[in-house]
Structure formats: structure tokens, C-alpha cells
């Protein structure tokens, strides 16, 4: 047998023994699922040392479990209420009694047919039929997104940028408010200039482009800080699970 698998089985056996013996720590969890969670957490963390059998075990388990999880979720939360219940409501009487009383909506035969066309991709003779379903999805989402991007990402952002640069509060000039609004207006313009490559970034245009990259760097720094701290929060969460839920060392 391969050496890495021997180590893996030994590790699982060791963990199982610790569970059975309760490790002599009174506060340690007796819940088998908590132990499984702790084992998998440690297995993933072991990657910090190097790629190993424990990590691969957890990684492969994750792929299988998450595929089945989303399959079941998709079936029960989307397919049953949005297709099966619409086509033949009495069939879902046991699981969704509120919907079971409604009249059937035969319009839903169309997405059902398109969905089946999608599965034709598996057919060796006519996989091209699946393109019809794909075309419906692409066309619909494109049409919906065209309006959405136009309204919120383009016009909405321009509208929010057209703000007064002199801010008056309670009858007097607000220096802080005015400064912030100037930074917003100038920042948006300079940011756009930085991404405008049809003119050489020289002279005043070059200065504006330079200001644009400063503003962008501040944004990237803020996003980077947020990302790092989000990961740290997750790490803290896992440590709390290991030390608290599993080992019972935290109150």
C-alpha cells in the first residue's frame, strides 16, 4: 500500500481512538459530527505544511458532497416549486400544500421542453439541439442585463457623481463636505481618464491619469484589506470551532 494512504488511515484511526477514549479532557465534545468537522478542518489546515493525503481526502470529499448538496437543493428548492408544482400541483400536496391547491400553469411546458433539450448535449447524434435552450437563456439574460447595466452601472453611477462641489450646511460652508464631494467628482473623472487609452497620457491629461491611479490604488488597498480581514475572520471562526465546539476550552 502507498505510504501516504498508510499515513491517512493511521491518522483516521488515531482520531477515531481519541474519540472513543474521549482524550481525557472532560469538556471535549462527544458529538461524532463535531469530531468529523474537526478532523476535516485539521486535514485542510495540514496543507500549510505541504500537499498531503489528509488534504486530498478532505478536498475530494468536498467535491462529492457539494455536488450532491447543490443537486438536492436545486431539485427541492427550484425544480419542485417552480416546475413540477406549476405543471401538476396535486403531485406536491405532501411537500408543498400551499401550492398544491393552485391551478396548473401549462406555460411551464416550454421551460421543461427547453430543459430536456439541454440534456440532448449528452446525445451523440443531436447535441446541437441543446443550443436552443442555451440560446433562450443567453437571449433572456442578455436582454434583462442590458437594461440593468444601462440603468444601475452606467446612468446610475453618472447620476450619483453629478453632485454639488460646494456644500452648504445650516447656512454655512461645509469644508469637509465640499472637500469630499470634490474628491468624488475629481476621482471619478481621473479614474475614467486613466482607462482612456485613445489619447497619450501627457501634460494635463497625464496629471489627471496619475491622480486616477492614486485613487484606484486607495480602492485596491481598501479591497485588499477587506479581503485579508474576511479571511482572518474565517480563520478565527475555525479556531473557535476547534478550541470551543470541539475541545471545549472556550467558554
Contacting another protein within 189-218 (CB under 8 A) = 189-192, 194-195, 212-218
Q: Please count the other Cβ atoms lying within 10 Å of the Cβ belonging to residue 3.
A: 8
Among 80, 99, 100, 167, binds another protein (CB under 8 A): 80
- Give the binding range for another protein (CB under 8 A) out of 11-19, 20-28, 114-122, 201-209: 114-122
- Name the β-bridge partners of 169: 172
Contact with another protein (CB under 8 A) among 18, 28, 47, 100? 47
Cβ–Cβ under 8 Å, residues 250 and 244: yes
Number of helices (H) and strands (E), helices first, in the chain?
Answer: 10, 2
User: By CB under 8 A, how many residues form the interface with another protein?
Assistant: 120
Cell triple for 191: 479614474
Among the listed ranges 13-21, 73-81, 167-175, 197-205, the one in contact with another protein (CB under 8 A) is 73-81
Give the residue, chosen from 28, 131, 244, 247, that forms a contact with another protein under the rule CB under 8 A: 131
- The set of residues, in sequence order, having a beta carbon less than 8 Å from that of 117 and lying 6+ positions away, is 129, 130, 132, 133
Residues between 6 and 25 that touch another protein (CB under 8 A) = none
CB-nearer residue toward another protein: 125 or 171? 125
Tell me if 229 contacts another protein by CB under 8 A.
yes
Nearer to another protein, 22 or 157 (CB): 157
Nearer to another protein, 21 or 33 (CB): 33
User: Which part of the chain contacts another protein (CB under 8 A), choosing from 17-25, 32-40, 164-172, 201-209?
Assistant: 32-40
Residue 120: burial class (beta carbons within 10 Å; 0-12, 13-18, 19+)? middle
Binding residue (CB under 8 A) for another protein from 153, 169, 207, 250: 153
C-alpha–C-alpha distance, residues 192 and 213, integer Å: 10
Nearest to another protein of 2, 171 (CB atom):
2
Q: Is 219 one of the binding residues for another protein (CB under 8 A)?
A: yes
Cα angle: 84, vertex 112, 141; to 5 degrees: 110
Phi, psi angle pair for 168, to nearest 5°: -110, 125
CB of 7 to another protein, least distance (A): 12
CA–CA distance, 102 with 82 (Å, rounded to integer): 13
Provide the CB-side half-sphere exposure for 119 (13 A, CA).
5
Dihedral angle of Cα 48, 53, 57, 59, to the nearest 10 degrees: 40
Q: Does 109 bind another protein (CB under 8 A)?
A: no
User: By CB under 8 A, which span of 11-19, 20-28, 45-53, 199-207 interacts with another protein?
Assistant: 45-53
Amino acid at each position: 500500500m502507498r505510504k501516504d494512504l498508510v499515513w491517512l488511515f493511521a491518522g483516521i484511526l488515531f482520531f477515531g481512538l481519541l474519540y472513543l477514549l474521549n482524550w481525557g479532557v472532560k469538556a471535549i465534545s462527544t458529538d461524532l459530527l463535531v469530531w468529523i468537522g474537526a478532523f476535516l478542518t485539521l486535514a485542510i489546515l495540514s496543507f500549510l505544511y505541504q500537499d498531503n493525503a489528509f488534504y486530498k481526502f478532505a478536498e475530494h470529499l468536498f467535491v462529492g458532497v457539494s455536488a450532491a448538496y447543490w443537486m438536492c437543493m436545486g431539485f427541492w428548492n427550484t425544480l419542485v416549486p417552480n416546475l413540477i408544482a406549476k405543471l401538476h400541483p396535486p403531485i406536491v400536496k405532501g411537500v408543498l400544500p400551499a401550492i398544491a391547491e393552485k391551478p396548473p400553469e401549462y406555460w411551464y411546458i416550454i421551460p421543461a421542453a427547453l430543459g430536456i433539450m439541454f440534456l440532448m448535449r449528452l446525445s451523440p447524434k443531436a447535441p446541437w439541439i441543446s443550443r436552443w435552450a442555451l440560446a433562450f437563456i443567453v437571449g433572456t439574460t442578455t436582454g434583462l442585463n442590458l437594461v440593468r447595466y444601462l440603468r444601475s452601472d452606467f446612468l446610475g453611477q453618472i447620476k450619483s457623481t453629478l453632485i454639488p462641489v460646494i456644500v452648504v450646511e445650516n447656512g454655512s460652508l461645509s469644508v469637509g463636505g465640499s472637500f469630499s464631494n470634490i474628491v468624488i467628482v475629481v476621482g471619478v473623472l481621473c479614474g475614467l481618464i486613466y482607462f482612456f487609452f485613445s489619447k497619450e497620457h501627457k501634460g494635463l491629461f497625464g496629471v489627471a491619469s496619475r491622480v486616477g491611479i492614486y485613487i484606484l490604488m486607495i480602492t485596491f488597498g481598501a479591497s485588499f484589506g477587506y479581503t485579508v480581514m474576511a479571511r482572518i475572520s474565517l480563520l478565527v471562526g475555525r479556531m473557535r470551532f476547534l478550541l470551543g465546539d470541539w475541545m471545549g476550552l472556550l467558554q
